[in-house]
Chain A
């Protein structure tokens, strides 16, 4: 049973345009959400996170939006750059209860020059 779902395995955008990566979750106990970026044959690196008490968090070109009622979050990258091409993993955790991060399957983003 997948608690964190990234339904788009891949996304392709033009350089300079907006990239929107989506993530849905089913566990209402999750209260903290993260996005990781991963290049091939490397470990994931933390990108941005958001607490359930917020609906938006921004860091430079990256913004994460959280819609708790819909159990949905999205990562916006504006403007997209070729170096953003990677696999993006959404992850969630219940800080009060669990010792485990739950990851989605990832979305492969390709930014074309």
Chain B
């Protein structure tokens, strides 16, 4: 079964701690994306990567970092610098050049206590 997996589904962390959210895909997609969703808000782009070892900031990159060492994986680190980290985080992927056709993972709900 091809798809995108995000783990864990729910994550709790203490304030001031960095936390890394996992995103893995076996769709052989070159492009991957991280979004954040808050209640009553649309999806806001945090970071995206069109190819391995390259990534760009999205609209709300402050307080986040990413890496893209492997095609299948695009982990997101929520650092202590992110002022409001509690949110629902969504990872997506697409074929390179087909940004309009993104496939989403199931999401991770991060709660910072």
Give the interface segment out of A12-20, A58-66, A73-81, A94-102.
A94-102
For A105, give the chain B residue with the smallest CB separation.
B42
A residues at B contact (CB < 8 Å): 4, 6, 9, 32, 34, 36, 41-46, 49, 89, 93, 95, 98-101, 103-106
Q: How far is the CA of A36 from the CA of B56 in the complex (A)?
A: 24
Is B100 a contact of A100 with CB atoms below 8 Å?
no
- Please pick, from A6, A49, A104, A106, the residue contacting B100 in the complex, using a CB distance under 8 A: A49
Q: Would A89 and B99 count as touching, CB distance under 8 A?
A: no
Taken together as a complex, chains A and B put the C-alpha atoms of A100 and B41 apart, in Å, by 17
Q: Specify which of B40, B41, B107 is in contact with A43 (CB 8 Å cutoff).
A: B107
The answer to whether A9 and B40 touch (CB under 8 A), given A41-B109, A44-B90, is yes
Q: Interface with A: B12-20, B43-51, B64-72, B75-83, which one?
A: B43-51
**Sample of 15 further A-B pairs with CB below 8 A, known A32-B100, A41-B107:** A41-B9, A41-B106, A43-B107, A46-B101, A46-B102, A46-B103, A89-B42, A98-B99, A99-B48, A99-B50, A100-B48, A100-B58, A100-B59, A103-B42, A106-B42
